[in-house]
Amino acid sequence: MIEYETAVGHLDADCFYVSAERVRDAFLRDKPVGVLGNQGACVIAKSYEMKAAGVATGVPIWEALVKCPDGIYVKRDFRWYEVLSRAMLELMRVVSPQVEYYSIDEFFFQASVPRGGSFQKLAESIRDLIWERVKVPVTVGIARTRTLAKLISDAAKPFGALAVLDREAETKLLADRPVTEITGIAGRRAKRLAVWNIATCLDLARADRRLVRSLLTASGETLWWELNGDPAQPIHTQRPAHKALSRGGSFGETTDDPTVLHAWLVRNLERLIEELEYHAVLAGRLTVWVSYKNGQVGVGQTSLTVPSDRFDMLLDAARPCLRNAWVPRVAATRMHLIAEHLTPRAEAPLGLFDRPDPRLETLARVKRAVNARHGRFVLRSAATLPLASIYKDVANGYDICDVRGKICF
Ligand SMILES: [Mg+2]
């Protein structure tokens, strides 16, 4: 019998949205390309050529145009990005018995080679396989733990493949990287570490474990174990059940018009209901969260007497939440609608007074069937009429949060 050695791999596509656009349009290769989100208002991904021109992710389009006037700017298309993401995921599932769908372009996986085999060769073969079959450039890192594997793939970008398993090479890598390169360490947490002269990943790995725990709580201690080569974060082959579901985002164009805000509430609610139906859960609590141009944030929350996934009941609950979250005469920039206290539909108790209304249940069913057959949002509430231009633009028809099964955004 062949004996295997195992390690943890991390695969991350290089400037994924841009690479995905290049898969279907070779004209975009080797040119500065930016992908626009938020109704075309800002750059959510850029090619290395555009990065070299000084364009950062998240900058508004008008700033990007000053820095990179020759750039090619395209609208995001998450439906297409998901097609390629799933193609990569399928290939990874052939290569590895355990794959975690971490985000649309990032997977963790169990890397195994016959005893004495080369993890470096495995990393290279996976990178080349994805390139050959999907035409998306990726970087693969292999190490003793997830945290190390991710640090390694970040260091090896772009189109890199690197396995680091011997201690000496690991130490050198950690010494070269600031702690802020570790996912989950930024801002306040980094400052807390700086007080103790912990600046590099190696400083953190060498620090006293109890000190790390006192500074960064249990999640920091997990990172400490991982940096020292002890796997403390398993590979999740299945996404754990959602504790909360939410829909929302930026309006693109700010608004202080209550009719438009209400339209956004209804749009987000219809999208949230799709999610509730997909996961077969009912919402027990709703939160409406609105942020404003002047930095203010408004929040409204309510518990439902009867958990529900029905439009009329949830809208009745959500309206007073929006009223609480509303700041009159101030321009609002984004909204989130969050459902919590989720109960599986099959387990929902039926009270004496909350039997499903057959007419409204039928209406919900017809709406679902029409949209499934003729296109998402074809049948929708008339309250969304002020957002006609949003619905007209196909780029808004599918969002990153509509890609299901990811562990992380
Ligand atoms: Mg990536």
Residues 314-327 pLDDT 10s = 999 999 999 999 99
Please report whether residue 277 resides in a domain.
Answer: yes
Cα gap 58→77, rounded to integer Å? 17
Structure-block tokens of residue 12: 């991350």
Q: Can you say how many angstroms the Cα of residue 101 is from the centroid of all Cα atoms in its chain?
A: 11
Cα gap 203→175, rounded to integer Å? 7
Q: End of a domain among 77, 104, 129?
A: 77
Report whether pLDDT(409) > 80.
no
Please report whether residue 364 resides in a domain.
Answer: yes
Ligand 1 centroid distance, CA of 130 (Å): 14
Please report whether residue 156 resides in a domain.
Answer: no
For the chain, give the mean pLDDT: 94
- Report how many domains make up the chain: 2
Q: Which of 33, 39, 77, 79 is nearest to 57 (CA)?
A: 33
Q: Which of 357, 270, 358, 351 is nearest to 305 (CA)?
A: 351
Report whether pLDDT(52) > 80.
yes
Ligand 1 centroid distance, CA of 100 (Å): 15
Cα gap 12→155, rounded to integer Å? 11
Residues 370-381 pLDDT 10s = 999 998 999 999
Ligand 1 centroid distance, CA of 247 (Å): 23
Q: How many angstroms separate the Cα of 47 from the Cα of each of 68, 222, 276? A: 12, 34, 36
Torsions phi, psi of 10, nearest 5? Answer: -135, 125
Structure-block tokens of residue 385: 């009429």
Whole domain around residue 55: which residue ranges?
16-77
Ligand 1 centroid distance, CA of 141 (Å): 13
Highest mean pLDDT among 128-137, 345-354, 370-379: 128-137
Please report whether residue 293 resides in a domain.
Answer: yes
| 8-state DSSP, 31 | S
Q: Where are the beta strands (DSSP E) in 221-344?
A: 245-255, 281-292, 297-308, 332-340, 343-344
Please report whether residue 378 resides in a domain.
Answer: yes
Ligand 1 centroid distance, CA of 11 (Å): 8
Least confident of 163-177, 351-365, 366-380: 351-365
Cα gap 153→97, rounded to integer Å? 20
Ligand 1 centroid distance, CA of 392 (Å): 30
Helix 78-95 and helix 119-134, axial crossing angle in degrees, nearest 10:
140
The pLDDT-based confidence of 355 (bands split at 50, 70, 90) is: low
Q: Are 282 and 308 in contact (CB under 8 A)?
A: yes
Write the CB contacts of 394 (distance below 8 Å, at least 6 apart in sequence): none
Q: Which residues surround ligand 1, an ion (CB under 5 A)?
A: 12-13, 16, 105
More confident of the two residues 301 and 305 = 301
Residues 263-300 pLDDT 10s = 999 999 999 999 999 999 999 999 999 999 999 999 99
**Helix and strand element counts for the chain (H, E):** 14, 13
Q: Are 148 and 163 in contact (CB under 8 A)?
A: no
Summarize the confidence of residues 329-358 as an average pLDDT: 84
CATH of the domain at 32: 3.40.1170.60
Residues 56-87 pLDDT 10s = 999 999 999 999 999 999 999 999 999 999 99
Q: What is the 3-state secondary structure (H, E, C) of 320-377?
A: HHHHHHCCCCCCEEEEEEEEECCEEHHHCCCCCCCCCCHHHHHHHHHHHHHHHHHCCC
More confident of the two residues 21 and 399 = 21
Residue that is written with structure tokens 């202080």 in the block: 256
Residue 354 has a pLDDT of 60
Please report whether residue 33 resides in a domain.
Answer: yes
Alpha helices in 177-237 (DSSP H): 187-194, 201-206, 209-227
Residue that is written with structure tokens 């959510």 in the block: 44
Summarize the confidence of residues 191-211 as an average pLDDT: 95
Ligand 1 centroid distance, CA of 104 (Å): 8
Ligand 1 centroid distance, CA of 155 (Å): 12
What is the model's pTM? 0.90
Ligand 1 centroid distance, CA of 159 (Å): 11
Q: Which of 396, 233, 401, 261 is nearest to 319 (CA)?
A: 261
Cα gap 85→138, rounded to integer Å? 12
Q: Are 4 and 113 in contact (CB under 8 A)?
A: yes
Q: End of a domain among 24, 44, 77?
A: 77
Q: End of a domain among 52, 77, 102?
A: 77
Please report whether residue 177 resides in a domain.
Answer: no
Cα gap 180→170, rounded to integer Å? 17
Q: Are 9 and 149 in contact (CB under 8 A)?
A: yes
CATH of the domain at 363: 3.30.1490.100
Upstream peptide bond of 158 is cis (omega within 30 degrees of 0): yes
Residue 301 has a pLDDT of 98
Please report whether residue 92 resides in a domain.
Answer: no
Q: Are 78 and 384 in contact (CB under 8 A)?
A: no
Ligand 1 centroid distance, CA of 197 (Å): 31
Residue 158 has a pLDDT of 95
The pLDDT-based confidence of 223 (bands split at 50, 70, 90) is: very high
Q: Are 103 and 407 in contact (CB under 8 A)?
A: yes
